[in-house]
Chain A
Amino acid sequence: MSPCRERIPLNGSHPRDSWGISPTCRVDAIRVPPSRISLSKQEKALLGNVAFMLSASTEDGGFVGPSIMEFFPPSFLFVGTPFEINRIIMIRIVMATLLILLFWLGTRKMTIVPGRFQSLIEMGLDLVRVNIAEDLLGKKDGARFLPLLTTIFWATLFLNIPGIIPGFNIAGTSLVGMPIVMAVIAYVMFIYAGLRKHPGTFLKASLFPPGVPWPIYIIVTPIEFFSIFILRPITLSLRLLMNMVAGHLLLVLCFTATQFFLFEAEGGFKLFGAGTLAFGFIFSLFEILVAVLQAYVFTLLTTVYIQLALAEEH
């Protein structure tokens, strides 16, 4: 079976767009049969169980689970250019606009004695300023990196949260570009912070930790290099991406299963619909927690990396 069995010509030729998918493939993906489901590793086991339980009722091919194609919706604007816009990108733009609007309204006329709205905005900004930046970096360095950290936190949170907002239903960070861009910025920032604070000695101190007998460097230095300069940005971006991808797939699975059980399954199986709906509800709440937590973790780790770079011992 080819992945694009039903090649429906939409506009004659099908050049692969910048997402690396031909339009017809996408059409195919939307009604991908169970045998086409592809997931991140941590979801595979879970989905495997569910699929096993469902296998009895999906003999007729009625149930369609979520696929990785969830994250590659068709582009509808500037197709074929580097500015191609699909649903997820549009959600990013909308959420960024909302974020800017909210904070602009909240900080436009700040008064010494805050009103309710201003108190909320202040709480939001102080969360990063006091609890992350000043706690870990101190007042001076905290103020230096504050704009970046505030942006990372609020951008991540606002791009995570559409995952449970009805109508959006997918996080802006569940497409790998956003986590990569932010991880690269964090990476550049902590290396910059280290080089600026300890010019010349930063790399040496990072790769050759002091107080270690020299033969150990043969094993320690590659490990340090790997963990600091390669693993950090990768884990930073993958942690966020995978949390959002898994959360989205889980929600889609719960709600499509509910749909299937309630309207397509026969007799007693309809009861399963209530269960899957309840799970969908619980995981929706859980996704709020994950959205906030991932934004916090991303910001906190960036801050910790900067702190380590600044405090490198010599």
Chain B
Amino acid sequence: MLPAISAVIAAEENPNPLLPAVADLVWSSIVFVVILIFFLWKILPNMKKMLDARAAAIEGKIADAEVVQREAEQALTQYTAQLAEARSEAVVIREAARADGKNIVDEAKDAAAAEAARITATAHAQIEAERQSAIVSLRTEVGSLAIDLARQVIGEALDDDKKSKALVDRFLADLEKNEKVKK
């Protein structure tokens, strides 16, 4: 009834698949050795070279980044120091400028005051001089006028200068005395 099953179990006259033929072994070895040589000689060295290069590149980049960072930090400190220095310098300059300005103003004030004083003094002196000259000329004119008047009044020529001068002086003195009394 089941010839197929018995057939499966029977019939072992066929070649034994566990016993290798010579050509099978020869070609297996050739194929394996060729692949092995190729991996040994080309592929794995290439891969190793690339991996080493990659590791070096990564390490190099990290080192570069560290250097750059250190530089940046340095630049920052430098910049901060410069900034502080500039600030203090600015303060100094401002103070100096303020002092200078004060000095200039003071000097200008002094100069103006001195000039004013000088002008005032000159004006005083001029006025005084003019008053003196006015007094002198007045005294002379008033004297001669008064003498002329008196001559005409008393009809007598007072030729004697000495006398007339004394008279005038007495007159003026009386005049001044009267004014002082009035005051």
Q: Do A and B come together as binding partners?
A: yes
The answer to whether B20 has its CB under 8 Å from any CB of chain A is yes
The answer to whether A52 has its CB under 8 Å from any CB of chain B is yes
When A20-B15, A148-B36, A155-B31 are in contact, do A177 and B21 touch as well, CB less than 8 Å? yes
When A107-B47, A180-B20, A245-B17 are in contact, do A93 and B27 touch as well, CB less than 8 Å? yes
Using a CB-CB cutoff of 8 Å, which residues 28-54 of chain A contact chain B? Answer: 29, 33-40, 44, 47-48, 51-52, 54
The answer to whether B118 has its CB under 8 Å from any CB of chain A is no
B34 (CB) vs chain A CBs: closest residue: A96
B-chain residues with CB within 8 Å of residue A188 when the two chains form the complex: none
Q: How far is the CA of A72 from the CA of B34 in the complex (A)?
A: 24
B11 to chain A, nearest CB (A): 5
B10 to chain A, nearest CB (A): 8
Q: How far is the CA of A146 from the CA of B36 in the complex (A)?
A: 10
- Check B17–A35 contact: CB distance below 8 A: no
When A68-B14, A82-B22 are in contact, do A177 and B44 touch as well, CB less than 8 Å? no
Q: How far is the CA of A29 from the CA of B17 in the complex (A)?
A: 15
When A40-B17, A103-B43, A150-B44 are in contact, do A180 and B28 touch as well, CB less than 8 Å? yes
- Check B32–A151 contact: CB distance below 8 A: yes
Chain A window 174-192, contacts with chain B (Cβ cutoff 8 Å), 1 for yes, 0 for no: 0111101110010000000
Q: How far is the CA of A83 from the CA of B57 in the complex (A)?
A: 49
The answer to whether A55 has its CB under 8 Å from any CB of chain B is yes
- Check A151–B9 contact: CB distance below 8 A: no
Using a CB-CB cutoff of 8 Å, which residues 112-129 of chain B contact chain A? Answer: none
The answer to whether A18 has its CB under 8 Å from any CB of chain B is yes
- Dominant SS among interface residues on chain A: helix
Q: How far is the CA of A99 from the CA of B28 in the complex (A)?
A: 15
A-chain residues with CB within 8 Å of residue B83 when the two chains form the complex: none
A39 (CB) vs chain B CBs: closest residue: B8
B-chain residues with CB within 8 Å of residue A75 when the two chains form the complex: 23
- Check A82–B23 contact: CB distance below 8 A: yes
Q: How far is the CA of A201 from the CA of B9 in the complex (A)?
A: 47
The answer to whether A140 has its CB under 8 Å from any CB of chain B is no
- Check A104–B42 contact: CB distance below 8 A: yes
A-chain residues with CB within 8 Å of residue B23 when the two chains form the complex: 18-19, 75, 78, 81-85, 89
Q: How far is the CA of A36 from the CA of B4 in the complex (A)?
A: 9
One of B48-56, B67-75, B137-145, B156-164 at the interface: B48-56
- Check B47–A99 contact: CB distance below 8 A: no
The answer to whether B2 has its CB under 8 Å from any CB of chain A is yes
Using a CB-CB cutoff of 8 Å, which residues 68-121 of chain A contact chain B? Answer: 68-69, 71-72, 75, 78, 81-85, 89, 92-93, 96, 99-100, 103-104, 107-108, 110-112
Q: How far is the CA of A85 from the CA of B23 in the complex (A)?
A: 7
When A38-B12, A107-B43, A176-B17 are in contact, do A93 and B50 touch as well, CB less than 8 Å? no
- Check A92–B31 contact: CB distance below 8 A: yes
The answer to whether B181 has its CB under 8 Å from any CB of chain A is no
- Check B57–A112 contact: CB distance below 8 A: yes
Q: How far is the CA of A38 from the CA of B34 in the complex (A)?
A: 34
Q: How far is the CA of A112 from the CA of B54 in the complex (A)?
A: 5
The answer to whether A312 has its CB under 8 Å from any CB of chain B is no
A-chain residues with CB within 8 Å of residue B29 when the two chains form the complex: 181
When A3-B13, A68-B17, A110-B50 are in contact, do A48 and B32 touch as well, CB less than 8 Å? no
Chain A window 52-65, contacts with chain B (Cβ cutoff 8 Å), 1 for yes, 0 for no: 10110010000000
- Check A155–B53 contact: CB distance below 8 A: no
A-chain residues with CB within 8 Å of residue B12 when the two chains form the complex: 38
Q: Which of A72, A122, A182 interacts with B47 by CB under 8 Å?
A: A122
A59 (CB) vs chain B CBs: closest residue: B3
Question: Lowest 7 A-B CB distances belong to which pairs?
Answer: A177-B24, A51-B4, A110-B50, A35-B7, A84-B23, A107-B46, A177-B28
User: Can you offer 23 A-B residue contacts whose CB atoms are under 8 A?
Assistant: A3-B13, A18-B21, A19-B21, A36-B14, A39-B8, A51-B5, A52-B2, A68-B14, A82-B26, A83-B23, A83-B26, A84-B23, A85-B27, A100-B34, A103-B43, A125-B43, A155-B35, A159-B31, A176-B17, A176-B24, A177-B25, A181-B25, A181-B32
